[in-house]
A and B are shown apart, each in its own frame.
Chain A
Amino acid sequence: MTDDGVHRLALLRDMLLVRRFEECCAEQYASRKIRGFLHLGIGEEATAVGSVRALAADDDVVATYREHGHALARGIPPATLLAEMFGKASGCARGRGGSMHLCDVSRRFWGGFAIVGGGVPIAVGLALAERMQRGRRLVAVFFGDGAMDEGELHESLNLAALWKLPVLFLCENNQYAMGTALARHASNPRLVEKPPTYGIPATRVDGMDVLEVERAVREAADVVRGGSGPRFLELSTYRFRAHSMYDADRYRDPEEIAQWKRRDPIELLAERLTEDGLLAPAARAAMEGELSALLAAAVAEADAAPLEPTSDLARDLYARTPR
């Protein structure tokens, strides 16, 4: 098989891992092992996997509260993520963050930020640190179409452009700001028309096509690394499930959902791989079997992990004892 074939199969496996992981999360939520807010990105796997895989391993990533896919694509083990959501001591944040705040600084994954737009100024600051320390990394920051209405986002676009910082703005436009459709929350729903007013070139990308996402992010990342300032990509996508586990999803037309599901990013890639003779039914089944076993083992590992002790409640509040 060619390198390209191997690479595309790896992308398929990465996206399938995200899909099956999130289905597993929904089950764990139903069995009450996961509580709080759980935002699934089912349907949006191509934006997470395609983007994160296109970045250098040491580029900084700042994500949102819908970040399971990004965390997995960065290489954080599923058991670590599940343990976090179960409130266990082996969780990536020892149970302090949960689903919305997955984080692994050793992988330069700065975490899920759960205030819409709130992570974007952080990304600008990380890029400033990178620039002043003469590094070559860039900062990729994810946010949704809802964040495009936030002042923090616009302040960040202005500052990043003003200071020519190495920020790659990645707007995962899933067409809804929670339950409000793009045309009902944005006076101008053509999102790519906004960054150019700050001098930031912006491109719209088919966010259901992982290869397109990967190509666009790689090209934009190269430009940003070259020092010419920030770039903006709108990755057009759709979440197949509700906003969170609390959402009754009364605001979307079932026909609209069905239409987007016909462009399921996983099946789009699988079909092309099948056409190219790279994915036999047995190979797909083997992939599913491997992931199913991997996730079962991850759940067992997270189940078996000890709870974070309440005696450590105030741990990591300050760098040293307060006085």
Chain B
Amino acid sequence: MKQASFREAVRSALRDALRTEPRALLMGEDVGRYGGAYACSLGLLEEFGEARVRDTPLSEAGFVGAGIGAAMGGLRPIVEIMTVNFSLLALDQIVNNAACLRHMTAGQVAVPVVIRMATGAGRQLAAQHSHSLENWYAGVPGLRVLMPGTVQDARDMILAALAEDDPVLVFEHQYLYPMEGPLDETAAPASPWHSLVRRPGRDLTVLAWGGCLPRALAAATELSGRGVEAEVVDLRALRPLDLDPVRASLARTHRLLVVDEAWRTGSLAGELVAQLAETALYDLDAPPARVCTAEVPIPYAQHLEQAALPSAERIVDAARALTERRG
């Protein structure tokens, strides 16, 4: 197994998709000659040609809708929306068409499209380029939503998404692209539809995913030095949710901390806390806690932006407060 970046893992998956699935094509803004805004598709135009690596105009509704239509017509498009912020221009196509069509036609229409997009804040890009809106999509029946938090998942989730007959949205936190980690490019992709314990611990369960997972793991290391053993669970699939491993963890730790880069109000963290309270309340020795983004548009200035976001430090503080409480 080699060391690779998250970005290289994405590229590895895209290349494998084009090599092994003749119906696959990439389309999106600057995916071809530019190589992708985050360089995820660098070199793929040269390797696979203009027909299968398609630069699109800056018309998100148009090309996302075309990707959905192409999937209906028998292709396996992998559509890149440069960032989740721009996906709002394609919300009609994703929610009204991709999500609804199978059910609304009683199964006559399949939409096997993969829609990838970068998400999240932390690079001083200001409010309009820093949203975390994956929870909006995770609330829509008919969609599947994945968010890798490791280098291996960055590859596996794209390949697993490609194998589904449903629309799958894959959110890649833009802060993770340079992150290094082990990458096995030969193994069959692991199922992305299950939550996984990434670090065992006995004192509390920290539930995180995507860009917050490395921060949760860093916090767990810090906490360990202070005598608190956090069990970190990676949610991985945002829709459908797999909460059995989380409940199993809570049965051991009896404390829940959810980390989510969305704004607290309406966040997926809120839904997770609700579902876990409904089904595992009597396993808890303390009220569940959340670390979310401050409810402001993400500001540009570094100190302001960092003050708004979930950080390892804020996770440590929340975990200590939670474990110091006596049930």
Contacts and interface: CB of A to CB of B under 8 A. Distances in A.
A93 B63 contact: no
A316 B103 CA distance: 5
Contacts of B108: 93, 103-106
Nearest to A108: B73
B25 A132 contact: yes
A219 B92 CA distance: 33
Interface in A88-143: 91-94, 96-97, 101, 103-106, 110-111, 113, 115, 118, 120-130, 132-133
B71 A125 contact: yes
Contact of B240 (A94, A105, A319, A322): A322
Contacts of B56: 159
Contact of B69 (A126, A132, A316, A320): A126
Contacts of B266: none
A152 to B, nearest CB: 5
A323 B194 CA distance: 8
B187 interface: no
Contacts of A124: 62, 65-66, 69
A32 interface: no
Given A132-B51, A159-B63, A323-B193, A121 B144 contact: no
Contacts of A323: 193-194, 237, 240, 242
A307 to B, nearest CB: 14
B280 interface: no
B53 interface: no
Contacts of B101: 111
Interface string A143-182: 0000000011001101100110000000000000000000
Interface residues of A, number: 46
A125 B68 CA distance: 7
A323 B237 CA distance: 10
Interface in B35-64: 51, 54, 56-57, 59, 61-64
Nearest to B75: A129
B90 to A, nearest CB: 9
Interface in A65-105: 91-94, 96-97, 101, 103-105
B57 A155 contact: yes
B313 interface: no
A246 interface: no
Nearest to B65: A121
Interface centre among B61, B69, B101 (most CB of A within 10 A): B69
A317 interface: yes
A158 B193 contact: no
B85 interface: no
A195 B144 CA distance: 36
B74 interface: yes
A151 B89 CA distance: 10
Interface of B: 25, 51, 54, 56-57, 59, 61-75, 77, 92-93, 96-97, 101-110, 141-142, 144, 164-166, 193-194, 237, 240, 242
Interface of A: 60, 91-94, 96-97, 101, 103-106, 110-111, 113, 115, 118, 120-130, 132-133, 151-152, 155-156, 158-159, 162-163, 315-320, 322-323
Given A94-B106, A111-B105, A317-B103, 4 more contacts: A105-B108, A118-B97, A126-B72, A159-B66
